[in-house]
Structure 1
């Protein structure tokens, strides 16, 4: 039972089948690049990759190729927590490459739709062991780390974005540690969806969340607690926020 933890699974975007698993992915932050015919591409390396037997059988049967994949971050129980999208430059035919059952290194060339930040990868490592069970765990993080936090909660929340939307709810927003727009969205996500929750990372994504699919839809009320100077009406961000909430029938109440 003391086997090595599998950190990533590779999922074929077309069939939704698990292609295989690997211990690590070099280049997930987009730091490895290569050029071909004056075009720049990302290079990733799947360390200790092992193809899934079911996918091998699927390829042999259908002669399918792989073009777009999800690079899924796994927790210690082997569940996917979130994923990064990778589009291969050239379709990959696993049945032609003769992948066996041995652990191998696989180099892939293509495009990362979203690059993983260094800070997000550090947070994923913590979440592998245990997901957040209390709010404000982000308060001691630097601004860059908080941005990494927002990246993680955004990708983690995709799996639950099909939940039924609640309306006319009342939510408590703890503004104790809110000093800028980044910390505001960290706190907003938790006010709406609990510890490690997501509800936008900027004003544009907030408007997307207000259209539904993230557990809550207007009209609803947010009770602001422990409000700081950040929420002053002379704050340009807060002015835009107020306008969005007013137009979408979201009521802000200062307690």
Structure 2
């Protein structure tokens, strides 16, 4: 049987930082896993374990100290339009409207104004913000800002979308609504998604698979296949059993 090249492959990825005194601090150690095309993969780990650092390497915003990161079989060398990132702090441009924020990727890619406006409008509507095209970021709630960030990421036409704890600052109800929204958009757009969280329930609810990372320096402790039908019932015996299994293996935050 012919093997399928994964969308993303991490092979023995390492990252070490040097402090002002020259001492070396390892953050990632031999991180290895694959991500399949159109998969929703969750990176789960305790706070400050190196999850965000790993995402920055995948997005080409920093370089690994060792190992390889391959996208469609080719090394990632610097930022690439194939990868879009959504941060916990959305980083919306305060002096630009919702429409202008969402269309910024296509604009810098040289897409003509009329075409990029159509693209931006599509994703503004997809994230449920029709009617807010001319609103300013200061007029939006936290959940609405995250919707703009997601629309902006998708409008850039990436092949891989990485989300760095995007709902961590939201209240519980808004967080649940946004989890539902990100799943709905993923199912419609068929993009490959890597989602970072330190919340076990969120990981099991969202992921096709969950990659569990250790405390810093991060290593892959285990990979869990979440073979539960969607939409998932957080109170089902199967969901709670998997949640308990992962909880027992997860390092505590310090």
Q: TM-score range by the shorter chain?
A: under 0.3
Which has more radius of gyration? 1
For normalisation by structure 2, the TM-score amounts to: 0.27
For CA contacts below 8 A with separation 6 or more, give which structure has more relative contact order.
2
For normalisation by structure 1, the TM-score amounts to: 0.27
